[in-house]
Amino acid sequence: MTRAAVSLGSNMGDRAANLARALAALADFPATRLVAASSVVETEPVGVPEEFAHMKFLNQAALLDTDLSPEEFSRRMHAVEDAMGRVRTVRNGPRVIDIDLIDFGGIVRDAPDLTLPHPRAAERDFVTRPLSEIGFRLVPDRQIEGGAC
């Protein structure tokens, strides 16, 4: 099995319920098990259009072990977002749920549909803090340490 690190965020509707629903959906992927989930933290939005700057996020991180390929795992993550009503009309706009694949077993990949590790994750406290809580540390130079809890 491969260890996947994901970051979840929501700034619309019942944010806590959105995170819980998304986490349950991730844990329900075939050949996948939830290893750890961080506590939920409220954070200020980063890089959003000014009209949405007042919409705080709830964020969480999780570690999952999976036999899925990184591409299949990512495809299924996007399907969860779509099923939950995520709309992608405004770049960095409000979202019911945002799920980012931060790391997948230390794989380094730069493809049009999947970049690993996530290129901006190490710069974002709303990603690094919850991951650190569950024993996963991102290093800014794109190297990954940890993954066990």
Catalytic residue, chosen from 3, 76, 86, 124, is: 86
Catalytic residue, chosen from 100, 103, 124, 137, is: 100
Catalytic residue, chosen from 3, 76, 98, 124, is: 98
Q: Is 91 a catalytic residue?
A: no
Q: Is 95 a catalytic residue?
A: yes
DSSP 8-class letter at 14: S
Taking CA atoms, 45 is separated from 27, 68, 86, 106, 147, in Å, by 26, 31, 17, 27, 26
Tell which residue, 133, 138, 134, 136, has the closest CA to residue 147.
136
Q: Is 82 a catalytic residue?
A: no
Catalytic residue, chosen from 95, 110, 113, 125, is: 95
Q: Is 67 a catalytic residue?
A: no
Widest CA span in the chain:
43
- Catalytic residue list: 86, 95, 98, 100
